[in-house]
Chains A and B, each alone.
Chain A
Amino acid sequence: MGHKLISLAWVFVMLSLLAVGGGTAVLPEMQHMTVHQFHWVTDQQFRDIYSLGQVAPGPNMLMVMVIGYRIAGVAGAAVVTVAFFLPDCLLTLYANRMWRRYQDSPWRQAIQRGMAPVAIGLMLSGTFAIAKLSIHNAVSFAIAAASLGILMWRRINPVILIAVGGTIYLIFKSGFFA
């Protein structure tokens, strides 16, 4: 048990520090570590837990605590939450204070402009990882395409799309369209 908690802490501290570009950017690495390297969850469980994060309010990546909970109960959830959020909070607190002093430094500009496209590429990879786990047929593809189209077309609360997407796929799987 103690050994598991230490592994959980180590993995999520690493993921926390690598999360340049936010939570989505670190999803492929998180999937690799938790599914393929440590076998804490299966691909399907990883997808389900990610989806739970969409259903809950607030930052989606709070879903990491469910991975910890699945492995080591409430202690696991607590360890993962602290490991995934605390290092970034401390880093941001101190880096931001320093950053302000270099507001106009050309190197600050270089880092911000250089890392922006890398972060976008990582977010695309994170999106692709979730797509591979969820889009296996025409119905799931249609849900993703419709969600993209509707959000590009107008501002709508994403929770509506999330709920409708889940419901449509549930009806599809229950054989209603067959």
Chain B
Amino acid sequence: MNEAPAAPKQPGFGAIFTVFLAAGGVSFGGGVLAYLRDYIVNGRRWLDNDDFLDALEVSETLPGLNSVNMAVIIGDRLRGIAGAAVAVFGLMLPGTVAMMTLGALWVRQSQNPNVNAFLVGVAAAAVGLLLTVTLQLGHKQFVRPLDLMLIAATFVAVSVFKISLLWVLLTIGTVAVWFYRPRGDAATAEHMVHLRERLHSHRAHWRH
């Protein structure tokens, strides 16, 4: 075990595995990200809060589960592709063991009315949980008229008109990005110069 505390920039694979295993083992109902932030930003200090939020922004934009995407991004940043693999493996291991155990039990009991009743109650409680997560994640979007329109259009397309997800992403997704497209006016041009300067300083920073 490599436990050198003086090298927080390059944690060992064992440490990465342990942290993600813990996050994957104690989080229920989609709370993985809160634990990851606690362990990685506050506990081990592998990333600062801004870096964590940057990674989260990317995770949310790309397809896939946020928690798994975070494991890939953070693992990659800490120890490259092998770090990403170790992080994902650790995150998924406890849940995989639990799911396969529960799944094997459920397959034999799937007609049991008591099991069904319990799981209906679980699903109902999960609805409240999902709604909370959605409202918290979208608190900025729900108060902007344009965003609210895009939220409503997406919901109606999927839930009312049952349009396939691929088409919803291609149509509403494209329109949404077009709404926020970079504008070619003077203010934007000035902004671009500013951005390019920042980009260069970033690049210089990364070379260190």
**Chain A contact residues, CB within 8 Å of chain B:** 16-24, 26, 28-29, 32, 44-45, 47-63, 65-66, 69-70, 77, 81, 85, 88-89, 91-93, 95-97, 99, 103-107, 109-131, 133-135, 140-141, 143-152, 157-159, 161-162, 164-170, 172-174
Contacts and interface: CB of A to CB of B under 8 A. Distances in A.
Chain B facing A: main interface SS = helix
B69 to A, nearest CB: 5
B88 A85 contact: yes
Given A51-B126, A58-B95, A134 B100 contact: no
B53 interface: no
A26 B176 CA distance: 19
Contacts of A165: 121-122, 124-126
14 contacts: A32-B164, A52-B103, A58-B92, A62-B99, A77-B103, A85-B88, A92-B68, A93-B76, A123-B133, A123-B137, A130-B123, A134-B120, A135-B127, A161-B128
Interface residues of B, number: 106
Nearest to B106: A52
Contacts of B100: 65-66, 69, 77
A145 B128 contact: yes
A164 B125 contact: yes
Contacts of B178: 114
Contacts of A131: 127
B63 A20 contact: yes
B128 A146 contact: yes
A134 B98 CA distance: 23
B121 A114 contact: no
A23 B69 CA distance: 11
What are the nearest 6 A-B pairs in CB distance? A58-B95, A121-B154, A169-B121, A147-B128, A165-B125, A88-B64
A110 B100 CA distance: 40
B72 A89 contact: yes
B172 interface: yes
B122 A55 contact: yes
Contact of A57 (B95, B118, B125): B95
Given A58-B92, A59-B67, A128 B155 contact: yes
B153 to A, nearest CB: 7
B188 A47 contact: no
Given A22-B65, A57-B94, A121 B152 contact: yes
B31 interface: yes
